[in-house]
Amino acid sequence: MAVISIERMGLLSVVCVSLFFSSTFAVDRGNFKTCDQSAFCKRQRALKPGQSPYRALLETLELSDSRLTLQLINDNNKVHLLLELYRLQGNMTRVKINELKPLKPRFEVPDVLIAEPPTEPLSVLSKDDNGVVLSLGAENQRLIVSARPFRLDIMEGPEVLLSLNSRGLLAFEHLRLHKDTQAQADGAEVKESVDGDQQQDEGKKDEDGESEKEEDGLWEETFKSHTDTKPNGPTSISLDFSLPGVEHVYGIPEHADDLKLKTTDGGDPYRLYNLDVFQYELYNPMALYGSIPVMLAHNTQRTMGIFWLNAAETWVDISSNTAGKTVFGKMLDFVQGSSEKPQTDVRWISESGIIDVFIMLGPKPSKVFSQYASLTGTQSFPPLASLGYHQCRWNYNDQEDVKSVDQGFDQHDIPYDFIWLDIEHADGKRYFTWDPHKFPQPKEMLQGLMDKRRKMVSIVDPHIRVDSGYKIHNEITSKDFYVKNKDGKNYEGWCWPGNSGYPDFTKPEMRAWWASMFAYDQYEGSMENLFTWNDMNEPSVFNGPEVTMHKDALHGKWEHRDIHNIYGLYVQMATAEGQIQRSGGVERPFVLTRAFFAGSQRYGAVWTGDNAAEWDHLKISIPMCLSLGLVGVSFCGADVGGFFKNPSTELLVRWYQTGAYQPFFRAHAHLDTTRREPWLFGPENTALIREVIRQRYALLPYWYQLFYQAHKTGMPVMRPLWVDYPKDTATFTIDDEFLIGSDLLVHPVTEEGSRGVTAYLPGAEEVWYDVHTFQKHNGAQNLYIPVTLSSIPVFQRGGSIIPRKDRVRRSSTCMENDPYTLYVALSPKKFAEGELYIDDGHSFNYDTKKEFIHRSLTFANNALTSSNLCPDCNFLTSSWIEKVLILGASKPSKVLLKMDGKETPVDFEFDTSMSVLTLRKPGMNAGADWTLLLQYQRYFQC
Amino acid sequence: MTCLHLLLTLVFAVSLGTPVEIQRPRGVPLTKKQFYEESKPFTCLDGSRTIPFDRVNDDYCDCKDGSDEPGTAACPNGSFHCTNAGYRPMFIPSSRINDGICGKMTLHLDISPQQCSMHGMVLHLKFFLCTDCCDTTDEYNSGAKCENTCKELGRKEREVLQKMAEITKEGFLLKQQLIEEAKKGQQEKQSKVTDMQENKKQLDEKVEALRTVKETAEQPEKEAKERHLKAWEEQKAAIRLEKDKAKMAETFLELDDNADGFVSVSELQSHAELDPDADGTLTEIEAQGLMGGAEQVDTSTFESVWPKIKDKYHSESQAEEPAPVETPPDEVKEPVVDNDSEPYPEDDISEEEDEDDEDEDDYHEDDDKAQPTIKTPEKTHEDEEAMPPYDADTQALIDAAQKARDDFEEAEKALREMDDQIRNIEKELSFDFGPDAEFTYLYSQCYELTTSEYIYRLCPFNRVSQKPKYGGSETNLGTWGSWSGPENNKYLLMKYEQGTGCWQGPNRSTTVKLTCGKETVVTSTSEPSRCEYLMEFTTPAVCQEPANIDPSPHDHVEL
């Protein structure tokens, strides 16, 4: 293949040599900016905490019932800003700051909020010369606007929950004319670009009126060989947030780092700038493929969120007054009572746009999730099949290859749902086409998969080959849909096909046209079981600055600088819309994306990009997906096996065991790696992989129900422990294990040659059952679990009921009518509850026609009852309950099924050693009302 | 034999056209009917427990081994038996019951026999459908509308089998021929080697004899040549002396300006070039020094002066003559001899090797270019006085020695060639050409397959290569490594290794899969993994002896 691809790359090869075949395995850090190399970040970061030069002009205060406006003035440069405050429904506050009279409009990010957030009335409690006190509603919450210097504090009772500009880092670089065009631009005015002149030591320097030349990068900035022309000059913004009482902050993906965010003192801030990072490094704050500017703050009392709605390059600094302290030091403080309250300070810096912040006040984690969901929407409800196993590789070479891999799964009796085609499937990387030699009959191939009730994904990237013989290119050109360079010509850059254009996905007309390209008659060779993968949508531009688009490229009147981080979202949005439209709005789409932004959860799945076959990459997949889950993106996964390099067999098996318990479960491999379909590593390893994939399929009803829940409520599917145990500080930094929903605890084995893992079982009141042995363990303990290569430590929470489909099939679709087994894990109080959700698995009928079954399952007082959570829903299933396992039960004398007014005895078995009661074939329909009654001797005597 | 009997019973029933299904639980093969007796409780086939018979096929898994649910998908490890009248009976995993997937009428290549040979049903065929039942009995309750494709499948299979049988039969015949030929060839080669070794011995002796003859002839030749050379050297010395004397006399005359028969100091001083301290003037004292302190010298005394001045002295008659140009030493460079026989000819194996020929052409081209740069020796002064030809006696000795040398070299060359030949044959004989040497005929051959982009070329036991169809250089996809088939038949796969290195990857390698065919052809190539190629190759050499038993037992159905 090397021969072919090198030839095919043609001119591209030169670029690719340096970018894609670097001889050592590590990111080339030099390709990406540090804060120091990003002029605005350097400028802003040079500004140290101190007194803010901003003052609120209270006399300008205007209050409509839901909106308060107030002007701010920077006493150094006299530039006026407009502050808008909104109290939003669901316990949120929105803070917007823009220039009062900007030279021209500043960019405000559209299409992220699902609607204009509904507001609630604000009322002024008190007002004097020093400020205004506003009521935030029932919970004794107030918003205090201090005038001089300007700051905002949100209080609950006597406690400050969060302060804005308390460190004086509000900095708003107003739009200005270039000194070339405005001769009388005075030095102070220009210098004020960093706004705050409050630093005494630097103050003098400022007054000297040093010319703008001193301040590099205001009107032009060069990185490596790329010059950013910055026709609008400096436009960056910054604001600080203080979180008293908070020691743990999370979120702001995507970073290959721990779940708990670290302080950034002495290092670079966390960077949010969607980039195609070749062979990314772990445990650092460098930017990756996607950006979600949402941070959660958590302590035992409260969880809050900060959503910084800005799509430009953004850096986030975190500092903490307890960061340097050891546990002992903290203890000492505590004992001596001399401790200052722990506090985390956060500072957001963005290159352009406005300040538009949503403060989500929780207080419970679930509340923060629903608050954020109310703003940006919830996880799309994926087709059931997409929760199955995905087999991918760059590349499945041809139709014959696809067929033989497909047969391989049957031959080895391993289920799978999707087989994927990477870039080589298209004719010369012209997406929406097929290589005529390798894939001459795509429909025949798709039909073959359909006969097996399986599906396929083909890649459709947003870079379009500039080729006058290519329909897609010609149409985009003729409709003038390409992104423009600073000179107004079509922007061109290098990507897989060579010279490529980039459609302007920020244009609604462009997105509509793109969506129409997925129609069956447009995308030739496509069928209803073909879905889509959007890669390289950061966008990746091989020869661009930091492997992405030039910031001075133009999207209509906006610069790429303004919209960069949302480009990828738009690509997936348009693609998902295309899939919906092709079915006449009936079928749910499935689209995987690499780049993402706040709101991307509405359009499909996300994966963690081009990872590597290394143990550390397996480990990092957990915090990376946990972080995404916290900020709305539940459908997350990492390439199983690792994309670059060849995994050892042990690593591959462990990765399957981990991936099977993560939301998006796809194996993928680089072109240069050796083949690694599950059966290529000897019968023992095939058996191990088969077993774990089967475990995944057995749990599909649970996964599906959790995704339904995520779709309805915004609750993450894969969660950090603290989400369910918010008061248990031991859980706050755990990111080597996680919860699936509330009821499954997974501690994957991610160490080479591991003989045991120590899992933390949370909850002093809880018991946890090993799902393989049914052995019961108490909560709030560190449990050492000896492991072999076949072990996957998974526990079901006592008090939960998990429906499974234990029958082994070839694909999830084949399981449609299979019966359920209910795993009822009793709490110490002999109680358990769960849910069962069933629909057709693929259409929007659950939404449009209420065609679904949603049942509540409750075990209490020795009776397991199924009751209807949606009485006005209608959906018929032929699935039934074949078995009920009650873990932690005692042996009844009799079991009765009560249904339709009749009572029938049910056979059962009891395993004394593990206290497992198995009810044999109760047989009721999964959608029916029923009660299973366990009778004990004393009742029997009556 | 009970099972055969039972099978025949069923078959008989079917063949009568009365579809009498012998009563037994769904999914149970006749061979196991005895374990499923309706009147008795059922004991799991692994003996683990006994359950009431109404729990057999009740869609609930009671037995760990899945034996209570042969006709439902309840057990994860169960297997379902379908009769597939018209095709062949088979077992499928019970997980495929009612999964909505019909038995597609496709003949699956390369389904491994193990997968289909569950429960002792051994199948030797590679063409087989074993994922679903063609008689649709596995989809009795799924809503899938399946068609019974057994008849057609059976027909197709028979066609395939027949074709295969024909191929196998013919292939096997061809194989026999190949074996014959190989054996013959091998014998021939063996005896040839023996002969050659015998010949070689003689040749060895001959070479030794000729060496002696050569050496014997070379001794007198050498002596005669030395004599001749010595004589010539002496002659040359005499001539040189003569010339010097003449020059001295001439110089004397030239210097003796006043012709008084003496060369005086002043006369000598007129030749400033003789200045010993090179300050441009020849002083009187210096001149005197040259003349040994005398004021003048006569001709005989001049003899002692002459050696001091002869090197510097400019003849007045030819004062303008430039100093003799220094000539490069006569390079003793042998012209490149175009050896017809290469030193190691073992590599050129077939006549088809265009590529190698091309390489050689390139090589020669380089030589051609190189040749003009060899300097032709310039004539030197000394050559002017060429050595006189050898006298007749010497020449005769030389000729004799030359002939002895030629004879010796020719014999030696013949010996070398024979060594090479022997080595080649021995190398060929050392290859593992299969248990009956049936693969011998592939040696020295090459087979090509042209795809849309490349020409692939397999030279068995040598190398595999790939060349772009429209120009570009050839890539080595591996050189012969070893047979690498499974233990029971390693001759089904060939492994070629250590081809051209892949960028950032391993060296290219190729696995060649051999299947029975009448023709010897490369049928396909692919690159399943980066830089690991797979080539399919048909040859009669792997055709197995057609089985005596009928390969398709279901043919009984047609009785």
Residue B84 near residue B121 (C-beta atoms within 8 A): no
pLDDT at A243 over 60: yes
Catalytic residue among A258, A276, A467, A610: A610
Q: Is residue A326 very low, low, confident or very high in pLDDT (cuts 50, 70, 90)?
A: low
Q: How far apart are CA B196 and CA A167, in angstroms?
A: 99
Residue ranges in B16-130 assigned as alpha helix (H): 113-116
Q: How far apart are CA A738 and CA A717, in angstroms?
A: 10
Q: What is the mean pLDDT of residues A639-652?
A: 97
Check CB contact of A401 with chain B, cutoff 8 Å.
Answer: yes
Question: Using the beta-carbon criterion (under 8 Å), do B73 and A809 form an inter-chain contact?
Answer: yes
Residue A807 has its nearest CB partner, among B76, B452, B468, at: B76
pLDDT at A653 over 60: yes
Query: Quick check: is A736 catalytic?
Result: no
Query: How far apart are the CA of B445 and the nearest CA of chain A, in angstroms?
Result: 25
Q: What is the mean pLDDT of residues A698-702?
A: 98
Query: How far apart are the CA of B116 and the nearest CA of chain A, in angstroms?
Result: 9
Residue A672 has its nearest CB partner, among B99, B472, B505, at: B505
pLDDT at A571 over 80: yes
pLDDT at A200 over 70: no
Q: How far apart are CA A786 and CA A770, in angstroms?
A: 13
Question: Using the beta-carbon criterion (under 8 Å), do A437 and B452 form an inter-chain contact?
Answer: yes
Query: How far apart are the CA of B16 and the nearest CA of chain A, in angstroms?
Result: 35
Check CB contact of A806 with chain B, cutoff 8 Å.
Answer: yes
Residues of B in contact with A437 (CB under 8 A): 452-453
Distances (CA, A) of B243 to A224, B255, B303, B380: 82, 18, 14, 18
Backbone phi, psi, residue A441, to 5°: -130, 75
Residue-wise pLDDT for A356-375, tens only, equals: 999 999 999 999 999 999 99
Question: Using the beta-carbon criterion (under 8 Å), do A882 and B59 form an inter-chain contact?
Answer: yes
Burial class (CB in 10 A: 0-12, 13-18, 19+), A262: middle
Among chain B residues, the shortest Cα distance to A675 is held by B529
Question: Using the beta-carbon criterion (under 8 Å), do B111 and A808 form an inter-chain contact?
Answer: no
Residue A712 near residue A702 (C-beta atoms within 8 A): no
Q: Residue A72's Cα: distance from chain center in Å? A: 35
Residues of B in contact with A809 (CB under 8 A): 73, 95, 99
Residue A100 near residue A81 (C-beta atoms within 8 A): yes
* Residue A276 confidence (pLDDT): 97
ipTM of the complex: 0.88
Q: How far apart are CA A269 and CA A249, in angstroms?
A: 14
Residues of B in contact with A806 (CB under 8 A): 76
Residue B93 has its nearest CB partner, among A413, A452, A675, at: A413
Check CB contact of A166 with chain B, cutoff 8 Å.
Answer: no
Residues of A in contact with B102 (CB under 8 A): 451
Residues of B in contact with A21 (CB under 8 A): 503-504
Going across the sheet that includes B509-516, the strands are B447-450, B454-459, B463-468, B475-483, B493-497, B509-516, B532-539, B521-529
Among chain A residues, the shortest Cα distance to B98 is held by A814
What is the number of other CB atoms lying within 10 angstroms of the CB of residue A820? 22
Residue A432 near residue A425 (C-beta atoms within 8 A): no
Catalytic residue among A535, A552, A735, A736: A535
Residues of B in contact with A416 (CB under 8 A): none
Backbone phi, psi, residue B483, to 5°: -70, 140
Residue-wise pLDDT for A788-831, tens only, equals: 999 999 999 999 999 999 998 999 999 999 999 999 999 999 99
**Cis, peptide link before residue A254, omega less than 30° from 0:** yes
Residue A1 has its nearest CB partner, among B96, B101, B527, at: B527
Residue-wise pLDDT for A869-916, tens only, equals: 999 999 999 999 999 999 999 999 999 999 999 999 999 999 999 999
* Residue B415 confidence (pLDDT): 87
Q: Is residue A421 very low, low, confident or very high in pLDDT (cuts 50, 70, 90)?
A: very high
Residue B101 has its nearest CB partner, among A398, A452, A675, at: A452
Question: Using the beta-carbon criterion (under 8 Å), do B99 and A21 form an inter-chain contact?
Answer: no
Residue B464 near residue B456 (C-beta atoms within 8 A): yes
* Residue A422 confidence (pLDDT): 98
Residue A397 has its nearest CB partner, among B102, B466, B527, at: B527
Query: How far apart are the CA of A785 and the nearest CA of chain B, in angstroms?
Result: 27
* Residue B341 confidence (pLDDT): 43
* Residue B105 confidence (pLDDT): 52
Which residue, among B99, B508, B527, would best test binding to A if mutated, counting the most A CBs under 10 Å from its CB?
B99
Q: Which of residues 1-60 of B touch A (CB under 8 A)?
A: 58-60
Residue ranges in B312-468 assigned as alpha helix (H): 354-370, 381-384, 392-430
* Residue A182 confidence (pLDDT): 54
Check CB contact of B147 with chain A, cutoff 8 Å.
Answer: no
Check CB contact of B95 with chain A, cutoff 8 Å.
Answer: yes
Cβ neighbours of residue B334 under 8 Å, at least 6 residues apart?
Answer: none
Residues of A in contact with B111 (CB under 8 A): 407, 411
Residue A768 near residue A794 (C-beta atoms within 8 A): no
Distances (CA, A) of B449 to A4, A820, B532: 17, 54, 17
Residue B99 has its nearest CB partner, among A401, A404, A809, at: A809
Question: Using the beta-carbon criterion (under 8 Å), do B100 and A813 form an inter-chain contact?
Answer: yes
pLDDT at A204 over 80: no
Check CB contact of A447 with chain B, cutoff 8 Å.
Answer: no
Q: Which of residues 530-549 of B touch A (CB under 8 A)?
A: 530-532
Residues of A in contact with B60 (CB under 8 A): 882-883, 920-921
Q: How far apart are CA B74 and CA B94, in angstroms?
A: 8
Question: Considering only A289-303, A408-422, B527-541, which range has the smallest mean pLDDT?
Answer: B527-541
pLDDT along chain B (559 residues), means of 10: 34 41 84 92 95 95 95 93 88 92 61 34 42 90 88 81 82 90 86 85 87 87 86 87 86 81 80 76 79 79 81 67 48 45 43 42 42 44 66 85 89 88 86 90 93 91 92 92 91 94 84 92 88 92 74 40
**Between A733 and A10, the higher pLDDT residue:** A733
Residue B438 near residue B175 (C-beta atoms within 8 A): yes
Residues of B in contact with A1 (CB under 8 A): 527, 530-531
Which residue, among B75, B92, B95, B133, would best test binding to A if mutated, counting the most A CBs under 10 Å from its CB?
B95
Q: How far apart are CA B218 and CA B404, in angstroms?
A: 8
Check CB contact of B364 with chain A, cutoff 8 Å.
Answer: no
Q: How far apart are CA B223 and CA B485, in angstroms?
A: 68
- Six-digit token string for B372: 């003009």
Highest mean pLDDT among A207-216, A584-593, B8-17, B503-512: A584-593
Q: Is residue A209 very low, low, confident or very high in pLDDT (cuts 50, 70, 90)?
A: very low
Query: Average model confidence (pLDDT) for chain A?
Result: 92
Q: Is residue A443 very low, low, confident or very high in pLDDT (cuts 50, 70, 90)?
A: very high
Check CB contact of A616 with chain B, cutoff 8 Å.
Answer: no
* Residue B482 confidence (pLDDT): 94
The three-class DSSP label of residue A324 is coil
Q: Which of residues 452-491 of A touch B (CB under 8 A)?
A: 452-453
Residue-wise pLDDT for A475-534, tens only, equals: 999 999 999 999 999 999 999 999 999 999 999 999 999 999 999 999 999 999 999 999
- Phi-psi category of residue A368: left, alpha or beta, with phi > 0 → left and psi -120 to 50 → alpha: alpha
Q: Residue A547's Cα: distance from chain center in Å? A: 22
Query: What is the crossing angle of helices A508-516 and A567-582, to 10°?
Result: 40
Query: Quick check: is A206 catalytic?
Result: no
Q: What is the mean pLDDT of residues A301-311?
A: 97
Cβ neighbours of residue B50 under 8 Å, at least 6 residues apart?
Answer: B41, B42, B43, B44
